[in-house]
Amino acid sequence: MDRGARVKFKTGSKARANWRVLDGMAGLVLARYHGMQPGTPERVDVVFSAGVIVWGERSSEFEEVPVEHKLQ
């Protein structure tokens, strides 16, 4: 999951309710990182259009949303 990727919480994610993000709402990855201890899970910061910013959530709680390319 790279910086700038569009993501949403996985279906059934308990973390989604903690952050008060609506089901299916897509966000943008601001940053991804690992903790200082070896073996710690990857974390991400994600901003959602509703103004909610999720700080330091496990990346495993998210899935990438395919970007639709529209030709004009």
For 67, residues 6+ apart whose C-beta sits below 8 A from its C-beta are 6
Which residue range(s) make up the domain with 32? Answer: 6-61
Mean pLDDT in residue range 13-34: 92
Residue 37 maps to a domain: yes
> Pick from 53, 31, 62, 35: which is nearest to 44 by CA?
31
Is the residue at 70 inside a domain?
A: no
On whether residue 67 sits in a domain, the answer given is no
pLDDT at 36: 82
Instruction: Examine residue 68 and state whether it is found in any structural domain, yes or no.
Output: no
pLDDT over 70 (residue 64): yes
Q: What's the pLDDT at 66?
A: 86
Q: Is residue 71 part of a domain?
A: no
- Residue 3 C-alpha from the chain's centroid: 10
Whole-model pTM: value is: 0.85
**23 part of a folded domain:** yes
Per-residue pLDDT at 39 exceeds 90: no
Does residue 66 sit within a domain?
Answer: no
Question: Domains in the chain: how many in total?
Answer: 1
Residue 19 lies in a domain: yes
